Structures are given as structure tokens and as C-alpha cells.
Amino acid sequence: MSETLTAGVVGGSGFTGGELLRLLDGHPNFEVAQTTSRSYERKTVGHVHPNLRHLDLRFTSPADLESVDVLFTATPHGVSMEHIDAFQEAADTVVDLSADFRLSEEAQYDEWYDGHVCPEYLDKSEYALPELNRENLPGAELIAAGGCNATATILGLKPLFDAEILSGDEQVVVDVKVGSSEGGAGASKASSHAERSGIVRPYAPTGHRHEAEIQEYLGLSVSFTVHAVDMVRGAAATCHVFPDDPVSKGDMWKAFRGVYGDEPFMRTVAGGGGVYRYPEPKSVAGTNYGEVGFEIDPTNRRLVVFSAIDNMMKGSAGQAVHAANIAFGLEETAGLEFTGYHPIGSP
Ligand SMILES: NC(=O)c1ccc[n+]([C@@H]2O[C@H](COP(=O)([O-])OP(=O)(O)OC[C@H]3O[C@@H](n4cnc5c(N)ncnc54)[C@H](OP(=O)(O)O)[C@@H]3O)[C@@H](O)[C@H]2O)c1
């Protein structure tokens, strides 16, 4: 399909907004017509994102939205739910990167967030983690791209469910290490270089909001802890699983190959030789690939499942473009073919 569709990016001056603009710049079907920022109105996109200095595009106010085919909204939690009517008025399809439309029940927003101002939209939105539910996305008008830590966790554990190694009753402990870009471009005391450099800091030891997403879309309540570590990009989930019955390496390979064998963006890495024997954020930095892998610990009747993504790609902007490709019936991989660099420095 060689059709050209127009795209807008609300929140284009942020980290995921910048990644959306980068991806759309290389996309064969989407062409950016507008991007917004209140702080950088009238400034060029290259003023904020130096990798995009070649673009002839300036930020406009989100109050002056133009009509487009697809509108990506990369704004902090709470903004999209407040402006959803205007966003939907401007575009056939809205792809929201925030948590505003990911969960299906208002009560979940009361429990995990600060409530919801337009719960009537929750029924109309489609959660997007294409490897989980791509069949829901064609023609969708409101898409909620999955959260980064939830995406890493769900991608790691899904094969165990599909192969019935997990039923949903077992205890699963998940530890996620995340890079600083997860916090967005806005400054806070904790994100200053002096405070953030060199850390391995438990920032959400319990009660992380993505637990709600994992519970809803994987059907499993996980014991979930997130550490902020000294990298810019990346989310790496280590899942400790205690199945009732013994599981062999062959069972695990079968499970992972069965689910991801034909997936364009998934790679299974589990042992073998070389330096990169398990998933690592560094191997997928800047790309829409997700890596998953595992190891067996028979002594403790434990499976260890690893999963690594780039939080700003497979965990947000890449996932959003992937979902839009499916929604519009385009090639799933369009604009997302970049395979990353090796070697690279800290991602
Ligand atoms: N960073 C990640 O790794 C990641 C991963 C998954 C999901 N997400 C989600 O994606 C969303 C964006 O994250 P981010 O990290 O890109 O955030 P960010 O770097 O802080 O960028 C936020 C953007 O939203 C704009 N904005 C803020 N308030 C606004 C308002 N009231 N109306 C219109 N625009 C507004 C900001 O520009 P102005 O203030 O200049 O308008 C900025 O361009 C968040 O909901 C986040 O939870 C982020």
C-alpha cells in the first residue's frame, strides 16, 4: 500500500514525542503535518531534538489542532482524558501513549490512578500490544499503547501462559530495571544528573501502576518491583516463576518459539555462546525489537524469564506506530525496520 496518510504528534517536544517524529520521518505511509508543544511553540523541532534538525517543521500550540488521519498523543497522564473530544474531532484514529485509556474499568482508575474524567471512553479504546492482541486493532479509532514496564513483563511471561506452564495461580516475582528516559523530559530533583548518575535505586518497590495492566491483559497478579538504574534507554524485566510441575529447556524453547517464531519484532535469546547470551536493553536500543529469554533453576524449582525492550520504542513510540500500521492496514513493520547499532555505548 503506497497511500500517504497525514499524522499529528501532540507532545512532540517530549522524549516519546521525539521518537514518534523520528519514526514518522522514515515512515513510507505517514507524513507529519503538525506537532505541538506549548513551551516550544514556533521553535523548530530540531531545536529540541538535534537528530531531527533536517526537518522543516515547527511546534504549534495544541489548541490549534489540524485535521489528520492519525493523531499520536504523547502527553503526561491525565492530559488525553481531558482533551479526548478535541483529539477525536481532529483525527480518524487517536493513538495515545499515556495510561489514560489502557484499563477497561473506571474502578481501576480509582484504585491505581486519580480516577477518570471520561470513563465512557474506556469501552471504546483498544489496548495495543500487538503480539498480544493485534486482531483488535484494524480500524480502531482510539488506541492505548501499552506501558513500557508492562510490555516488557507481558512479553516475557506470555509464552508460559500459552503453553500452559503458568495457569495464573502461581506466584511470580518481577523485577524491572529502567532507564532515566522513562521519566520523560521534564526535570525533577531525582532526575538531575548528580542524583541519577550511578544509581540502582528501588523507585517503585511495591504498588507500581503497571501491575493493573499486567493483571488485566495477562490475567496474572505479579509481585512487581521497579529499579531505576544508570542507563538512558531500556526496560529489562527479570521474572521469577515457580511452576507446579517440572519444566524442561525443551518445553521452554517450544513455548517461546511457538508464540514468537513468526513475530517480526521478537527475538528469543536463551544461553548459547558469546557475550550477549540473554536479553539486554543494549541489544535493542533505538529499535522496535523485544528480546525474551529464560533459564531453568531445577534446584529451586524456578524458571527465570528475561525480557528487554527500549522503553521509548517497543515500550511506547514504536509500539504506537506498530499499532497504527495495523489499524490502517499497512505493513506491520513499516517505518520500524531499524536494527540498531553494535557496538554502542550506554543506551
Ligand atoms: N518515557 C517513556 O519511556 C514512556 C514509555 C511509555 C509510555 N510513556 C507515556 O508517554 C507519555 C509521554 O511521555 P514522555 O516521556 O514523552 O513525556 P515528556 O518527555 O514529559 O513529554 C510530554 C510532552 O507533553 C507535552 N504536554 C505536557 N502537558 C501538556 C498539556 N497539558 N497539553 C498538551 N501537551 C502537553 C509536553 O510539551 P509542552 O509542555 O511544551 O506542551 C511534552 O511535549 C506519558 O503519558 C508517559 O507516561 C512514556
Q: How confident is the model at residue 197 (pLDDT cuts 50, 70, 90)?
A: very high
Rounded CA gap, 177 and 225, in Å? 9
Could you give the percent of the chain with pLDDT greater than 90? 95
Residue 343 within a domain: no
- State the cell numbers at 289: 525489537
Rounded CA gap, 28 and 140, in Å? 21
Are 305 and 158 contained in the same domain?
Answer: yes
Q: 10 Å Cβ neighbour count for 58?
A: 16
Question: Ligand 1 atom 47: the closest Cα is on which residue?
Answer: 98
Are 53 and 169 contained in the same domain?
Answer: no
258 known member of a binding site: no
Q: Which atom of ligand 1 is nearest to the CA of 179?
A: 3
Are 169 and 295 contained in the same domain?
Answer: yes
16 known member of a binding site: yes
- State the cell numbers at 38: 506549548
Residue 38 within a domain: yes
| Alpha helix stretches (DSSP H) within 226-317 | 249-260, 281-284
Distance 215 CA to ligand 1 centre (A): 25
pLDDT in tens, 12-37: 999 999 999 999 999 999 999 999 99
46 known member of a binding site: no
Residue 138 within a domain: no
What's the pLDDT at 272?
A: 85
Query: How do 200-204 and 142-145 pair as beta strands?
Result: unpaired
Residue 112 has pLDDT above 80, yes or no: yes
Going by C-beta distance under 8 Å and a sequence separation of 6 or more, which residues neighbour residue 11?
17, 36, 37, 62, 73, 74, 75, 79
Q: What is the domain-level CATH number for residue 50? A: 3.40.50.720
pLDDT in tens, 62-101: 999 999 999 999 999 999 999 999 999 999 999 999 999 9
pLDDT in tens, 154-167: 999 999 999 999 99
167 known member of a binding site: no
pLDDT in tens, 127-154: 999 999 999 999 999 999 999 999 999 9
Residue 288 within a domain: yes
What's the pLDDT at 3?
A: 80
Are 178 and 78 contained in the same domain?
Answer: no
Q: What is the mean pLDDT of residues 107-128?
A: 97
> Could you please report the per-residue DSSP string of 142-206?
EEEEPPHHHHHHHHHHHHHHHTTS--S-S-EEEEEEE-GGGG-SS--GGGSHHHHTT-EEEEESS
Residue 60 within a domain: yes
Domain of residue 199, residue span: 148-309
Question: Ligand 1 atom 4: the closest Cα is on which residue?
Answer: 182
> Which listed residue (148, 226, 266, 336) is catalytic?
148
Task: Tell me the CA distances in angstroms from 45 to 97, 175, 225, 278, 334, one per residue in order.
Answer: 20, 36, 36, 37, 23
Which residue ranges have their beta carbon within 6 Å of ligand 1?
Answer: 10-17, 37-40, 62, 74-77, 79, 97-98, 147-148, 181-182, 184-186, 311-312, 315-316
Pocket perturbation via mutation, ligand 1, pick of 75, 151, 154 by most ligand atoms within 8 A of CB: 75
Which range (63-67, 109-113, 271-275) has the least confidence?
Answer: 271-275
End-of-domain residue from the set 124, 158, 190: 124
Nearest to 81 by CA among 126, 53, 115, 117: 117
Rounded CA gap, 15 and 17, in Å? 5
Q: Which atom of ligand 1 is nearest to the CA of 17?
A: 16
Residue 290's SS3 state is strand
End-of-domain residue from the set 90, 124, 158: 124
Are 159 and 278 contained in the same domain?
Answer: yes
Residue 172 within a domain: yes
pLDDT in tens, 245-264: 999 999 999 999 999 999 99
Q: What is the domain-level CATH number for residue 217? A: 3.30.360.10
pLDDT in tens, 286-336: 999 999 999 999 999 999 999 999 999 999 999 999 999 999 999 999 999
- State the cell numbers at 101: 485509556
Distance 281 CA to ligand 1 centre (A): 22
Q: How confident is the model at residue 38 (pLDDT cuts 50, 70, 90)?
A: very high
Q: 10 Å Cβ neighbour count for 297?
A: 12
Pocket perturbation via mutation, ligand 1, pick of 9, 13, 16 by most ligand atoms within 8 A of CB: 16
Are 159 and 286 contained in the same domain?
Answer: yes
End-of-domain residue from the set 108, 124, 140: 124
Are 276 and 189 contained in the same domain?
Answer: yes
pTM, full prediction: 0.98
What's the pLDDT at 152?
A: 98
Are 82 and 177 contained in the same domain?
Answer: no
pLDDT in tens, 47-66: 999 999 999 999 999 999 99
CA atoms in the 13 A half-sphere facing the CB of 246: 5
Are 114 and 161 contained in the same domain?
Answer: no
Q: What is the mean pLDDT of residues 274-278?
A: 94
What's the pLDDT at 187?
A: 80
Residue 116 has pLDDT above 70, yes or no: yes
What's the pLDDT at 2?
A: 64
Distance 292 CA to ligand 1 centre (A): 28
Residue 334 within a domain: no
Are 90 and 157 contained in the same domain?
Answer: no
What's the pLDDT at 130?
A: 98
Residue 314 within a domain: no
Total structural domains in the chain?
Answer: 2
Q: Which atom of ligand 1 is nearest to the CA of 16?
A: 16
Q: How would you class 248 by CB atoms within 10 Å of its CB: exposed for 0-12, middle for 13-18, buried for 19 or more?
A: exposed
Distance 74 CA to ligand 1 centre (A): 5
Active site annotation includes 239: no
Query: Mean pLDDT for the chain?
Result: 96
Are 93 and 207 contained in the same domain?
Answer: no
Are 120 and 154 contained in the same domain?
Answer: no
Distance 163 CA to ligand 1 centre (A): 37
- State the cell numbers at 125: 479504546
**Single-letter code of the amino acid located at 189:** K
Q: What are phi and psi of 289, to 5 degrees?
A: -80, 150
Q: What is the mean pLDDT of residues 38-47?
A: 98
Q: Which atom of ligand 1 is nearest to the CA of 19?
A: 16
What's the pLDDT at 119?
A: 98
